Amino acid sequence: MSDAKIPLAGVIGNPISHSRSPLLHNHWLRTYGIAGHYIPMHVESDDLERVIRTLPQAGFVGANVTIPYKEAVMKIADQVTDRATLMGAANTLIFRADGTILADNTDGYGFITNLAQSAPDWQPASGPAVVFGAGGACRAVIASLLEADVPEILLTNRTRDRAEQLQQDFGPKVRVVDWIQAANIVEEGKLVVNTTSLGMVGKSRLRIPLDGLRSDALVTDLIYTPLKTDLLATAEEMGCTTVDGLGMLLHQAVPGFERWFGQRPEVDEAARAAALA
Ligand code: NAP
- Give the pLDDT of residue 277: 92
**Confidence at 2, pLDDT banded by 50, 70, 90:** low
Q: How far apart are CA 94 and CA 104, in angstroms?
A: 8
70 is an active site residue: yes
Please classify residue 93 by burial: count the beta carbons closer than 10 Å to its beta carbon, then call 0-12 exposed, 13-18 middle and 19+ buried. Answer: buried
Q: Is 158 strand, coil or helix? A: coil
Give the predicted TM-score (pTM) of the model.
0.95
Cβ-proximal residues to 11 (8 Å cutoff; 6+ apart), any chain: 19, 21, 22, 38, 39, 40, 41, 63, 64, 65, 66
Going by C-beta distance under 8 Å and a sequence separation of 6 or more, which residues neighbour residue 103? 73, 74, 76, 77, 79, 80, 81, 84, 90, 92, 93
Ligand 1 mutation pick, 158, 179, 227, max ligand atoms within 8 A of CB: 158
Q: Which atom of ligand 1 is nearest to the CA of 197?
A: 32
pLDDT (tens digit per residue) in 109-163? 999 999 999 999 999 999 999 999 999 899 999 999 999 999 999 999 999 999 9
Q: Which atom of ligand 1 is nearest to the CA of 163?
A: 46
Compute the distance from residue 135 Cα to the ligand 1 centre, in Å: 6
| Minimum CA distance residue for ligand 1 atom 2 | 135
List all residues 6 or more positions away from 31 whose beta carbon is below 8 Å from its beta carbon: 265, 266, 270
How far apart are the CA of 263 and the centre of ligand 1, in A? Answer: 32
Spell out which residues line ligand 1, taking CB within 6 angstroms.
107, 110, 133-138, 157-159, 162, 195-198, 200, 204, 222-224, 245, 248-249, 252
189-223 pLDDT, tens digit each: 999 999 999 999 999 999 999 999 999 999 999 99
Pocket test for ligand 1, best of 179, 196, 207 (most atoms within 8 A of CB): 196
Please say if the pLDDT value at position 66 is more than 80. Answer: yes
pLDDT of residue 196: 97
Mean pLDDT confidence for 157-171: 97
Q: Provide the mean pLDDT of the chain.
A: 96
